[in-house]
């Protein structure tokens, strides 16, 4: 099998047309270079050089082989340079997240990360979807990081809390509940409810909340995220129990709170594969988010 070292020896000998000069340039002995060239010629079954005076010239097959060798060596150099960039912290990161994080959390977090010295050349692709499908992409290697709900059924995934959102009730601005700051739990059974998609993390958490408090709201439709739920509520189709995020803060919406005794919060997690090798850029981003989130959550708990 032809080696990169053989190609380098051949390329230098062809460039200088002199084995002694090529050996000196390569830092090896002339016999070592000659042996390597002989082995290369035996490997491909063709004569690449012929002697001319004290030097050598390429044969016709040698000239053809030189064009291929030059291309291969350039590709190797480019790959080495790219790998060095990755080792130094540059690189590409694929991130998937749930829709509510698209408005401010993800853009602001990435912007703060890129402003740190050494992160300027890190590039990103972003994908939006439900937590379950995003986690499947994480496990197959499509994504490096996922942001969404916690899943207790993923033993190979590491979950890190990054954001805590209060669960609130949204109603149209002219709704009978709009005059209340805090609703009664029984209010959920008095008005139609716009709910999260039952397959989503928040959809499952909402239904668990209603079961725990023996509530049976009339769910008239489901939506995958807060933006959709808020749009239906704004059209006076019902009320919604949602995580407090940018999407619900509209002029046509009134935000009410759950009773203090049953206040509920939704935690957003950063997820990555446990035990899987991560490129330096991904490692740096994980470390940055861990530190940033820990500081933010500690400040909120004070």
Residue where a domain terminates, one of 49, 65, 87: 87
For the residues 174-190, what does the mean pLDDT come to? 95
What gap in Å lies between CA 180 and CA 186, rounded to an integer?
A: 14
CATH number at residue 246: 3.40.190.290
CATH number at residue 97: 3.40.190.10
What gap in Å lies between CA 133 and CA 23, rounded to an integer?
A: 57
State whether 37 and 65 are in the same domain: yes
Q: Which pLDDT does position 230 carry in this prediction?
A: 95
Q: What is the mean pLDDT of the chain?
A: 89
State whether 78 and 9 are in the same domain: yes
State whether 150 and 276 are in the same domain: yes
> At 159, is the secondary structure helix, strand, or coil?
strand
State whether 22 and 110 are in the same domain: no
For the residues 252-274, what does the mean pLDDT come to? 94
State whether 156 and 210 are in the same domain: no
pLDDT at residue 296 is higher than 90: no
What gap in Å lies between CA 88 and CA 18, rounded to an integer?
A: 38
CATH number at residue 26: 1.10.10.10
Q: Which pLDDT does position 90 carry in this prediction?
A: 63
Give the residue among 206, 189, 188 at the shortest CA–CA distance from 197.
206
State whether 229 and 243 are in the same domain: yes
Residue where a domain terminates, one of 87, 115, 144: 87
CA distances from 293 to 139, 166, 270 (A): 24, 16, 10
pTM of the predicted protein model = 0.69
- What pairs with residue 159 in β-bridges? 271
As a whole number of Å, the CA-based R_g of the chain is 31
State whether 261 and 294 are in the same domain: no
Q: Which pLDDT does position 88 carry in this prediction?
A: 60
Burial of 247 (0-12, 13-18, 19+ CB in 10 A): buried
pLDDT at residue 60 is higher than 60: yes
State whether 30 and 116 are in the same domain: no
Between 195 and 80, the higher pLDDT residue: 195
Residue with tokens 């704004």: 234
Give the residue among 131, 171, 124 at the shortest CA–CA distance from 281.
124
Domain that holds residue 33: 4-87
> At 288, is the secondary structure helix, strand, or coil?
helix
The answer to whether 291 and 209 have CB atoms below 8 angstroms apart is no
State whether 176 and 253 are in the same domain: yes
State whether 107 and 243 are in the same domain: no
State whether 260 and 274 are in the same domain: no
State whether 256 and 167 are in the same domain: yes
Our count of domains for the chain comes to: 3
Largest CA distance in the chain: 103
Q: Which pLDDT does position 216 carry in this prediction?
A: 96
Residue where a domain terminates, one of 87, 112, 132: 87
What gap in Å lies between CA 48 and CA 231, rounded to an integer?
A: 73
Residues 217-254 pLDDT 10s? 999 999 988 989 999 999 999 999 999 988 899 999 99
- What pairs with residue 172 in β-bridges? 253
């Amino acid at each position: 099998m032809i080696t990169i070292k053989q190609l380098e020896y051949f390329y230098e000998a062809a460039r200088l047309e002199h084995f002694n000069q090529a050996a000196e340039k390569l830092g090896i002995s002339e016999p070592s270079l000659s042996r390597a060239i002989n082995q290369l010629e035996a490997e491909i079954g063709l004569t690449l050089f012929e002697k001319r005076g004290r030097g050598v010239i390429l044969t016709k097959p040698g000239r053809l082989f030189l064009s291929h060798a030059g291309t291969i060596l350039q590709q190797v150099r480019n790959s080495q340079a790219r790998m060095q960039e990755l080792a130094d912290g540059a690189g590409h990161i694929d991130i998937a997240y749930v829709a509510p994080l698209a408005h401010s959390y993800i853009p602001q977090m990435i912007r703060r990360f890129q402003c740190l010295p050494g992160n300027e050349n890190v590039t990103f692709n972003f994908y939006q979807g439900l937590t379950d499908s995003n986690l499947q992409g994480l496990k197959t290697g499509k994504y490096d990081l996922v942001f969404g709900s916690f899943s207790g059924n993923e033993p190979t995934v590491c979950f890190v809390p990054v954001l805590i959102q209060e669960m609130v009730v949204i109603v149209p601005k002219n709704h009978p509940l709009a005059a209340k700051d805090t609703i009664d739990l029984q209010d959920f059974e008095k008005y139609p409810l716009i709910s999260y998609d039952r397959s989503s993390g928040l959809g499952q958490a909402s239904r668990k909340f209603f079961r725990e408090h023996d509530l049976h709201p009339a769910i008239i439709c489901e939506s995958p995220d807060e933006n959709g739920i808020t749009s239906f509520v704004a059209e006076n189709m019902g009320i919604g129990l949602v995580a407090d995020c940018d999407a619900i803060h509209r002029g046509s919406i009134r935000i009410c709170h759950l009773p203090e005794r049953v206040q509920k919060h939704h935690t957003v997690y950063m997820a990555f594969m446990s035990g899987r090798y991560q490129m330096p850029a991904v490692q740096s981003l994980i470390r940055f988010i861990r530190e940033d989130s820990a500081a933010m959550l500690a400040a909120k708990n004070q």
